Structure 1
Amino acid sequence: MSKDYYLDWLDIRKPFSEDYEFLSLNTSGVLKIEFRYGNKPIILYSPPQAINNTMATLLDTGNFVLRQLHPNGTNTLLWQSFDYPSTLIPTMKLGVNHKTGHQWVLVSSLTDLVLDPGAFSLEWEPKGQELVIRRRGKVCWRSGKLRNNRFEYIPEEAQRMLKYTIVSNGDEDSFSFNSTNDKLTPRWSFWISGRLSCNGGYVMAYVKADLCYGYTNNGGCQRWQDLPKCRNPGDLFVKKTLVPNFESVSYETNPAFGYSDCETSCWSNCSCDGFRAFWRNETGCKFYHWNSSKNYVVDTSVAGVEFYMLENTGNITPHNGKSNVKFHVDFVFGLLP
């Protein structure tokens, strides 16, 4: 078992934080994450009825599997971490298992501190032979069809060392990738904003689905028909640090609301000019409603607050208009695992 994949599992599986104590498997076959302070545990697997002779194993691929062992030497797979990806690594699948009906989907987290499923999902569409990003079930980005081991709207830097595998039969329809460099472990993961980070090893590239606001189909973004009349091409939310007027505010205290939900609510409300999280764990929303720039103050002499403010970029789309490809590349010095 490599240390690299061990860290991957801790990083990508069900939420781990300083509040979690240990992973346990009891004599009834229940696999769970126990809390340090006695809070309700997270149940990863619970059999319909108690079973014994179970064994959990972390494979070299990074897949954490739970099996039931039988007296004749055979075993039955009960649960595996690769069925619930939050970071996509080699041999993980997107698609559907036709035998069980289980769907393999890469999901974002609700916030950086609350790792419950968030608004965005990366899915494989076998009919179109393409990847799609959905925002609360609504398609906001498409990769374009796979041709010659390349997707049109995924940065070349993210695909250069990947070999894709497509399976379509009675058992499953799936997409997965492997690295052509055994020393590197590519990873795809979501930011809470919906941006897809593609770590190819030496470079980091991004699919900026967070900038797909529905008014353009450039770079894989999907055009929506139900845009608010008050929003225009080029409108987007920009992170600012200002001292706002706290009188013109409204609140959404629901802890099931994350960044994307706050953004969607503000975008659809023509009186909303900005937002930030309400709770310390970055859930809930505080909305700002301003009539003019006088409702917020830029003052470097006092500490401001970070929030997202609606601005117009002058009809500039988040893509290169000539190449029609949307990405940003950060060059990383040194070897990434």
Structure 2
Amino acid sequence: MQLKIARCSCLVFFFLLQASHIASGVVYNITTSEPLFPNQTLVSSGQIFELGFFTPNGSENQYVGLWYKNLRPSKIVWVANRDVPLVYTDRSARLTIGRNGNLKLVDGQQNIVWSTNVSGQSNYTSAVLLDSGNFVLQDTAYSVIWGSFEDPTDTLLPGMKMGLNVRTGAKRYLISWRSDSDPSSGSFSTGMTSETPPQPFTWNGATPHWRGGQWDKSKFIGIEDMDQTYLSGYFVQQDIQQGTTYFWIDTYNSSFFAYVFISPGGLKLVYWDDGAKAWLTDWTVPNNTCEIYGTCGPFGVCNSSNSPICKCINGFVPKSNEEWNRGNWTGGCVRETELNCHQNTSTSASTNVKNDTIWQMSQMKLPDSGDYLLGVGDQECVSWCQSNCSCLAYSYVSTIGCMVWTKGLIDLQEFSTGGEDLFVRVAYVETGSSDSSHKAVSISLSTIAGIMFFAVLIFGLYKWRARKRGNLSKIPRRLDSVNTPENLGELVQGNAWKEKLKNDDSLDLTLFSFDSILLATNKFSMTSKLGQGGFGSVYKGKLNDGKEVAVKRLSSSSAQGVEEFKNEIVLISKLQHRNLVKLMGYCIEGEEKILVYEYLSNKSLDTFLFDSRKKAELDWGKRFQIIQGIARGLLYLHRDSCLRVIHRDLKVSNILLDEKMNPKISDFGLARMFEGTQVLVNTHKIVGTLGYMSPEYAMGGMFSEKSDVYGFGVLLLEIVSGKKNTALYDQGQYLNLLSFAWHLWSTGRALDLLDETIAVSSPLEVTRCIRMALLCVQDHAMDRPNMSDVVLMLSGESDLPQPRQPTFTFQTEMPNGGIPPQQESIWSVNNVTGTTIEGR
């Protein structure tokens, strides 16, 4: 017993000795008599930040820097002597306060390596590190004399301002490290411009590298994804009289850690994910070629979805066709026809000369170097540009005002969503008209010749179709069905509806003839067939202009009737988002109900996810990209579109993939749109797919946005695991994927759910997705997050609560009596071509 006590005493003494040693290395302020040495660190009062001497990996130099104390891997967020390093072996260096009250870093030879150089100070000062990360020099009254926030390096912390003062010439720019092991000033820098409205820029040396667009009092309109979801916490303050322009971020949450920093790879926003215990990147710019400044040169427009990515504005041609064809677009475009207002006076005075016209461009990142017209309204903006020959373009943004451009339009980009309208001055002849009598005659003759040519062509086509009529009549064509009293009413209703849709100006869709659909799909041949579902078949088609389309032909016995079909046309035509499939047109002839969509080369997600040979093509990076895209699409439907839409049939087969594996939500036949604050709806017609329905909808007919959230959670688990929800797992011990996922999560083996065909490239990200999926499939709708929360959770901007265990009432087959008998239920079972209807 005495031996054990002696051993315990020795251990206690050892740990006390170690604690004393550690404590001796931590200080909480720096004074004249208490400098900071290389074996010590200065810590903020809340233990959030730490400052001390450090040596980058692979370097022989020593620096004084600042970092988050308890978050690993550590990121140096500020460096004092970045351009004048200490020698690594110099252990006599110290950071202290000199006789004049300034902070100074001296080496072992008493040479001053770095100093604050604040004039008029005394030796009654001290330096402390605040919990905000600001390393400050203060006087005896605790007034801040100098702070590291005034002298940033490569990182912008919350509360730190980035910008400039044009009167004093002072700039607070972020400047990149030269390399990962060298914090000295690199070639990339980021700051704000002093123009109105101000813009954020990144420069490579003196050359613009990236531009964020004009500030509209809430966001930078040149950043496509900077919408209301991510706005809170971004601020710009401009004082024209003082000559200052500053940008900063505020997280409003002292426990949420984030920073913006500039590297040779671009500007990044990074945040700490407390659940994953890791630093995650929220966004990086530039992230594609179009975001690099001036990729397409003056009067060139960049669109990363096109090939080639650059094109000239209407009325302009490449300055050098040779360079343009080689993929070097930086020379830009030149005007094809001189503007009327730029011609000589005698020519302009001619009564036959037409005025220049305005060409509207939509969804644009507005060009650089615009002039802001203070106090000019919408109509005044138009009049000003039209009456000033120097005005090449204008735009009126309600949150900014009138902007005009008198120089070459540079750094134009066409967005897939969002953006602004830009109005460009072009010559009248470029719109298809002419000003000279000689050209008028030429155009008249060519027009007559064209009419004759098309008359002959149409006549020939008519004769060809007449010869083919017999063959076409062999195609199963419900238009030719006998008009019995039973189907005559539907035929009349269909024709009336067809005329109503045709006359609806709000529908920007093409009305296709049935014959054109037959030709496009090779008479609905099996070789053109892409797939089949409960509502009909989908075929690949090719229109006369060569454009490939997907043709959805509803079967005569389809559960999707006239109302569902009309719903899909009206609804999807009003929705525009890069993660929603685009409806191009429709066909209604007799009983034929056909939808024509954009063709997506990679078909639906299930063709990859549940195929043992193809699923390996979906690595984790692509799967996470798909998850994020689906979430953004649902957020648009629920909150950001002009309508409020609940999809009601979210599943893997309704997620289509384009050539870049970007997801697009499809099949809106069952979707419902609402207005106002309606959140919960009851229906006696339950439609959807077994396994994706929320409990309140399948059992009681109650649906809301949270019903879609439930389906998203199921979909998320299927994407992570590569397995279907409607199957038994672990030798039948678990009823479905949800119960199996909960078992793995609750036993600390969540990563075992990941598809075994792919490598774990980001285990913390995978775990976060599984946890979020379990939050989405909780039994009670009120417990599930909304899609705004989901998007924030995916980006790591929001903490994840602990999910509650679901009861897993759904099995691979619906139990008898699962739905009240008075309700009509339509179940579209995944991978089953038919539709099971349980009558009343």
The residue correspondences of 1:234-273 to structure 2 (distance < 5 A) are: none
CA distance in 2, matches of 1:153, 1:114: 30
> 2:269 maps to what in 1?
198
Of 290, 295, 301, 1:215 maps to: 295
Change (3 A) 1:98 1:136: closer
Alignment-mate amino acid for residue 137 of structure 2:
L
Of 117, 121, 124, 2:192 maps to: 124
> 1:255 maps to what in 2?
none
1:91 to 2:171 alignment: no
Of 217, 224, 234, 1:164 maps to: 234
Question: Any conservation in 2 of the 1:194–1:210 contact (CA below 8 Å)?
Answer: no
Alignment-mate amino acid for residue 173 of structure 1:
T
Change (3 A) 1:81 1:198: same
Quote how far apart the aligned CAs of 1:168 are: 2.1
Of 6, 12, 18, 2:77 maps to: 12
Paired residue secondary structure (1:179): coil
Question: Any conservation in 2 of the 1:155–1:206 contact (CA below 8 Å)?
Answer: no
> 2:147 maps to what in 1?
80
Change (3 A) 1:80 1:186: same
Q: TM-score scaled to structure 2, two decimals?
A: 0.25
> 1:46 maps to what in 2?
117
Paired residue secondary structure (1:115): strand
Quote how far apart the aligned CAs of 1:179 are: 0.9
Question: Any conservation in 2 of the 1:126–1:174 contact (CA below 8 Å)?
Answer: no
CA distance in 2, matches of 1:102, 1:133: 17
Change (3 A) 1:234 1:33: farther
Quote how far apart the aligned CAs of 1:26 are: 2.4
Q: TM-score scaled to structure 1, two decimals?
A: 0.56
Of 122, 128, 133, 2:202 maps to: 133
The residue correspondences of 1:255-294 to structure 2 (distance < 5 A) are: none
Of 114, 120, 139, 2:182 maps to: 114
Question: Any conservation in 2 of the 1:108–1:121 contact (CA below 8 Å)?
Answer: yes
> 2:448 maps to what in 1?
none
> 2:138 maps to what in 1?
67
Alignment-mate amino acid for residue 124 of structure 1:
M
Question: Any conservation in 2 of the 1:215–1:233 contact (CA below 8 Å)?
Answer: no
Question: Greater relative contact order (Cα 8 A, min sep 6): structure 1 or 2?
Answer: 1
Alignment-mate amino acid for residue 3 of structure 1:
Q
Quote how far apart the aligned CAs of 1:189 are: 0.8
Unaligned runs of 5+ in 1: 236-318
How many percent of aligned residue pairs carry the same amino acid?
20
Change (3 A) 1:200 1:116: same
Quote how far apart the aligned CAs of 1:321 are: 7.4
Paired residue secondary structure (2:50): helix
Q: Deviations over 1:40-96 (max 9, x none)?
A: 553131355774212212222211112344xxx58561x221112221111111122
Q: Deviations over 1:175-200 (max 9, x none)?
A: 11101444212211122x24112114
Alignment-mate amino acid for residue 199 of structure 1:
V
Change (3 A) 1:174 1:32: same
> 1:150 maps to what in 2?
219
- As a proportion of its length, which structure holds more strand? 1
CA distance in 1, matches of 2:205, 2:147: 25
Question: Any conservation in 2 of the 1:97–1:173 contact (CA below 8 Å)?
Answer: yes
Question: Any conservation in 1 of the 2:217–2:236 contact (CA below 8 Å)?
Answer: no
Question: Any conservation in 1 of the 2:136–2:144 contact (CA below 8 Å)?
Answer: no
CA distance in 1, matches of 2:47, 2:288: 32
Change (3 A) 1:209 1:80: farther
1:176 to 2:248 alignment: yes
Moved >6 Å (runs of 4+): 328-331, 334-337
Change (3 A) 1:213 1:175: closer
CA distance in 2, matches of 1:22, 1:154: 47
Change (3 A) 1:213 1:90: closer
Paired residue secondary structure (1:144): coil
Structure with higher Rg: it is 2
Change (3 A) 1:139 1:56: same
Question: Any conservation in 1 of the 2:236–2:248 contact (CA below 8 Å)?
Answer: yes
Change (3 A) 1:320 1:165: closer
CA distance in 1, matches of 2:265, 2:207: 13
Q: CA RMSD in A?
A: 4.6
CA distance in 1, matches of 2:126, 2:169: 24
- As a proportion of its length, which structure holds more helix? 2
Change (3 A) 1:74 1:84: closer
Alignment-mate amino acid for residue 199 of structure 2:
E
1:189 to 2:261 alignment: yes
Q: Deviations over 1:273-318 (max 9, x none)?
A: xxxxxxxxxxxxxxxxxxxxxxxxxxxxxxxxxxxxxxxxxxxxxx
> 1:238 maps to what in 2?
none
> 2:404 maps to what in 1?
none
Alignment-mate amino acid for residue 168 of structure 1:
Q
> 1:239 maps to what in 2?
none
